[in-house]
Chain A
Amino acid sequence: MIPGNFEYHAPTSLADALALLGQYGDEAKIIAGGHSLLPMMKLRFAEPEHLIDINGISELRGIREEGGMIKIGAMTTENQLIASEILWDKCPLIPTAAKLIADPQVRNRGTIGGDIAHGDPGNDHPAIMLALGASFVLAGPDGERTVPADGFFLGTYYTQLEEGEIMTEIQVPVPPAGSGYGFSKLKRKTGDFATAAAAVQLQLNGDSCTQINIALTNVGPCSFKASDAAAHLTGKVIDDALISEAAEKAMADCDPSEDLRGNIEYKTSMAGEMVRRAIRSALSNAKGE
């Protein structure tokens, strides 16, 4: 449980961080909260020669609302998300879910950007971002580009983030009035990754669902949207029967791997159950219940 040798860099500006990343290429790893990277380094599964710590770059932190968007600096910590009045007011799915991530110590240092950019299917923010229709700002040697969450996650530890790029900001469209959200997560204990989790964001017009996103955590090689399930509910008055049918469709999209949390059948079934619960809570808070 002792990492190999590495050189530690602590740039204080994004430009410096990008320059270091350019200089060391695939010998370098960016470290944000470090909760995924450091255990891998201690087990020597990862042995980067250079560690670029971006915690000192203050421009990467903070939450603001601008032009119908909530903009969250990639280095904003989970506890900052949980403490954010803007988020509780405008986009409560994020802090609601963040409270269920890991434990207080991890949330004190773990960042939203690190959680997303790592591409771990067990991380929760990818599914939340898919449910919210978020976009990510990626800075690289040739400037910035903005990519949608939908399509960003390509596989386990594999995203559209390219070598030399750093995620700098998360942009979330402010959900309109009549929105509802739900996040359900099953885990073995505090601090564990999800056995399965589901994030739901929907809009109602009267009783009818005009739009819904359903996204899942840790039941496939990467987080994904359960599109058939969402399509099945769109334009309809959602009742228990429809919820169960949608959960079945979401389960059909799952491709979990077996581990000590459970076998494939259990994890798939739990994905369905989490979808059911997340839809129910989204409906109830959309209706102001």
Chain B
Amino acid sequence: MSTEDTREEELKGVGCSRKRKEDPRFIQGKGNYVDDVKLPGMLVGKVVRSPYAHAKIVSINKEAALALPGVHAVLTAEDLKPLGLHWMPTLAGDVCAVLADEKVSFQYQEVAFVIADNRYIAVDGADLVEVEYEELPVVVDPHHAMDADAAIVRDDLVGKDEAGQGSRKHNNHIFNWDVGDKDATDRAFESAEVTVKQKMINHRVHASPLETCGCVASFDKVKGDMTVYMTSQAPHIVRTVITLLSGIPESKVRVIAPDIGGGFGNKVGIYPGYVCAIVASIVLGRPVKWIEDRIENLSTTAFARDYHMEGELAADKDGKIKALRVNVLADHGAFNTHAQPTKWPAGLFSICTGSYDIPVAYANVDGVFTNKAPGGVSYRCSFRVTEAVYVVERMIDVLAQKIGMDPAEIRMKNFIQPEQFPYQSALGWEYDSGNYPAALKKVMEAVDYEGLRKEQAEKKARGEIMGIGLCTFTEIVGAGPSKACDILGVGMFDSAEIRIHPTGSAIARMGTISQGQGHETTYAQIIATELGLSSDDIQIEEGDTDTAPYGLGTYGSRTTPVGGAATVKAARKIREKARKIAAHLLEVSENDLEWDVDQFRVVGSPDQAKSMKEIAWAAYNNVPDGMEMGLEAVDYYDPPNFTFPFGAYLAVVDIDKFTGVTTIRRFYALDDCGTRINPMIIEGQVHGGLNEGYAVAMGQELPYDTEGNLLGNTFMDYFWPTMVETPKWELDYTVTPSPHHPMGAKGVAESPHVGSIPCFSNAINDAFMQFGAEKHIDMPHNAFRVWKTLQEMGLNKD
């Protein structure tokens, strides 16, 4: 190994499977989560929730609760009204009740907030709050939300012809959003040789992070400062919202997102519990903690999906796709609190043309209110991308079945080709880079695809049921260019600030916030490679709005594409200053210097060099005339485009025809996320995403009965796979860098979730298609539902 290689290795920079810097404190119980925060004089709040999905509040009697020793206050909408805080704006232009105002619109809705000395008394106090309800008819099925005689979910919007996202046509209608050339698409369908149409549901699920949501709000009455520790994926925007809601100057609001035990989109929004704790702290002048229990988390804080889709493809008889049409009915629950960039009521759903060269397309989405919990956040995916990928990846299989073509062959036939990048999609995106045929080919060779199909046929002959699922997805992440994306008017840039200390170690702060992704490890690797300093000497801090530069946070796989790019840019600003200092020290022209791993050296005279450490020291005592001292830089990065990671996945399933139990025999996942920063962390991310995708496809569900009661809101029913259920994952990769990202990285965390769900579903559907199943089978593919299909098709016999 050359010395250069050794020096490079010692940096532990980009490409190094460096161990996670966070793990020693996590595995030793030394993390610091919101519920670990204990402040002097701290009180605890408990939310009183509605047992009904839709009911008028006749009366609320707080007396018994207030009489309980240790209870300090009970807040209701009446108490918040004078402050104008009984309702709050949502990210989607709607409003959401903080505490129910005259009526409740979903089961478990927040009705009152009891503040007490400790959690035990708070819960006892909540039990003593007497609420009298008068039940109202409910809207549970979104397909009947816009019936003429449907109950009205939102009295506050009656007579309003818009709810923040364009015009609406019914009291329970929220918005209509469409994209694409409708007429051209219709014409393509009219003249097509083959068309297929299929309804499918991306059912309501919950991201269910290990740590539930919570906060500690602490208002200092003397200084007028508000400090909030919060489980937030976007602390800076939360600070702005707190200022907008409370009128406290932003300079006096400090939001701290400490260690976070998983977010997956569940911790993007601002929830009534947070607002209640903040108000309670202002009113009482003491810190107030609010932490959800598991039932509250699953029942109220932001579900995902609930997209009822109808996909259509037009093609010629050889399987070349001519057009795509998708109609969606989106169930947003009782308030439109979905978390998307402001201008995107259906998020980035228009990525639904997928990895295929489809000449024309049209997508149309209607959002409706129902008497169910509000939400519609992304669950480990960029805004509605899972839904989009699901519909196109299922539809291409439906088309393949219709014309009798192999699912791999039809994909190969329709892929956007490598030379077509940058590729303009029919629905308006510019895909940055990709090589889809190479990815699928690599997977097919690795698993012996033909051999698997042969085995499947042999098994079928023996009455055994095996399914093979493919998914060749394209993601859209890294929101996003400020010309297209904002949250409450703030552009979706992100930031990094790097400061090099005199002895050559560094601290860097970003506007993002890790929830388990390992930012402390990977950001340091980026800086290490850019600046030639060991990543072990680079400290990363995020999540404290008093110290970190403003950023839009971590969700939608935006950290690497946006925050990572800001980090590279900031580091390069430092390197340019370092070059000037080196030139000064070496008494040569800047142009005579070249960067070499961890030093600037004189071209043609490699012994003449100054290491970054030497330059750092000089930055504090010996800089060129006219240069300011110090070595630091900030960058606010507004990306020119999204990034488009992709992958090719394959699942092999065996179905026990008597019980409906599905065994995932193989799962081969090839991901292309561009430049790979830490392969070990990528593998961990992919494992996590595949596990979640497996959970969603095979079991997770938030089911409601006809009265709007949520049936499965504990971990007894809500499917969290343990290591026993978790399949073995086989991982692979290709590298197609993003041309517009300063280091070519695209982001990876969400691909495995987005890509695996349709892959599992395609495998189950494939298993039944070979036995002549004619209709698509919806998720979740749990044993009971699979058995019902077996039973209907008469396959569960010896």
Contact = CB atoms under 8 A, between A and B. Distances in A.
A103 B723 CA distance: 11
Nearest to B126: A2
Contact of A262 (B119, B293, B784): B784
**Most chain B beta-carbon neighbours within 10 Å: one of A2, A103, A269:** A2
A188 B699 contact: yes
A74 to B, nearest CB: 25
A38 to B, nearest CB: 13
Given A260-B711, A260-B712, A273 B724 contact: no
Contacts of B660: 266
A246 B120 CA distance: 53
Nearest to B295: A1
A266 B784 contact: yes
Contacts of A238: none
A193 to B, nearest CB: 8
A95 B367 CA distance: 54
Contacts of A44: 127
**Most chain A beta-carbon neighbours within 10 Å: one of B120, B127, B703, B716:** B716
Interface string B704-732: 00000001100011011110110000000
Contacts of A191: 722
Contacts of B788: 266
Nearest to B661: A186
B20 interface: no
Contacts of A273: 658-659
A63 to B, nearest CB: 27
A193 B715 CA distance: 12
A195 B123 CA distance: 33
A189 B294 contact: no
A70 B563 CA distance: 66
Contacts of A265: 791
Interface string B92-133: 000000000000000000000000000110011001000000
Contacts of A262: 783-784, 787
Given A1-B293, A2-B123, A44-B127, A189 B784 contact: no
A266 B787 contact: yes
Given A260-B711, A260-B712, A266-B788, A189 B127 contact: no
A108 interface: no
B783 A188 contact: yes
A85 interface: no
Nearest to B118: A2
Contact of B722 (A103, A195, A263, A269): A103
B246 interface: no
B539 interface: no
B123 A260 contact: no
Given A44-B127, A260-B711, A189 B295 contact: no
A232 interface: no
A76 to B, nearest CB: 24
A195 B783 contact: yes
A270 B659 contact: yes
Contacts of A2: 119-120, 123
Interface in B659-673: 659-661
B782 interface: yes
Interface residues of B, number: 31
B515 to A, nearest CB: 23
Interface size class of A (residues with CB under 8 A): 20 to 34
Contact of A186 (B293, B659, B791): B659
A176 interface: no
A192 interface: yes
A189 B123 CA distance: 31
A2 B722 CA distance: 25
Contacts of A4: 124, 127
Interface in B712-762: 712, 716-717, 719-722, 724-725
Contacts of A189: 699, 719-722, 724-725
Interface string A158-197: 0000000000000000000000000000101111110100
If over half of B's interface residues share one DSSP class (helix, strand or loop), that class is named, otherwise mixed; here it is loop
Interface string A32-53: 0000000000001000000000
A29 interface: no
Interface string A57-89: 000000000000000000000000000000000
Interface in B207-234: none
B779 to A, nearest CB: 15
A261 interface: yes
Nearest to B712: A260
A106 to B, nearest CB: 12
Interface in A236-289: 260-263, 265-266, 269-270, 273
Contact of B784 (A5, A103, A261): A261
A262 B660 CA distance: 11
A260 B703 contact: yes
B213 to A, nearest CB: 14
A192 B788 CA distance: 21
Interface in B765-798: 782-784, 787-788, 791, 796
B65 to A, nearest CB: 14
Contacts of B720: 189
Interface string B15-54: 0000000000000000000000000000000000000000
B782 A188 contact: yes
Contacts of B796: 269
A192 B784 CA distance: 15
A260 B717 contact: yes
**Most chain B beta-carbon neighbours within 10 Å: one of A1, A193, A261:** A1
Contacts of B783: 186, 188, 195, 262
A273 B784 CA distance: 14
Contacts of A193: 716
A192 B120 contact: no
Contacts of A188: 699, 719, 782-783
Given A260-B712, A266-B784, A1 B294 contact: yes
Contacts of B294: 1
Contacts of B127: 4, 44
Interface in B58-75: none
Interface in B630-673: 658-661
A186 B787 CA distance: 13
Nearest to A196: B659
A6 to B, nearest CB: 11
A38 B421 CA distance: 59
**Most chain B beta-carbon neighbours within 10 Å: one of A5, A44, A188, A261:** A188
B660 to A, nearest CB: 8
A190 B725 contact: yes
Contacts of B782: 188
A140 to B, nearest CB: 33
Contacts of A261: 784
A190 B722 contact: yes
Nearest to A261: B784
**Most chain A beta-carbon neighbours within 10 Å: one of B295, B659, B788:** B659
A260 B718 CA distance: 10
A75 B618 CA distance: 72
**A-B pairs with the 9 shortest C-beta distances?**
A262-B784, A1-B293, A2-B123, A190-B724, A190-B722, A260-B717, A273-B658, A189-B725, A266-B784
Interface of B: 119-120, 123-124, 127, 293-295, 658-661, 699, 703, 711-712, 716-717, 719-722, 724-725, 782-784, 787-788, 791, 796
28 contacts: A1-B294, A2-B119, A2-B120, A4-B127, A186-B659, A186-B661, A188-B719, A188-B782, A188-B783, A189-B699, A189-B719, A189-B724, A189-B725, A190-B724, A190-B725, A191-B722, A192-B716, A195-B784, A260-B712, A260-B717, A261-B784, A262-B783, A263-B784, A266-B784, A266-B787, A266-B788, A269-B796, A270-B659
Given A1-B293, A266-B787, A269-B787, 18 more contacts: A1-B294, A1-B295, A2-B120, A4-B124, A4-B127, A5-B120, A186-B661, A186-B783, A188-B782, A189-B721, A190-B722, A191-B722, A260-B717, A261-B784, A262-B784, A265-B791, A266-B660, A270-B659
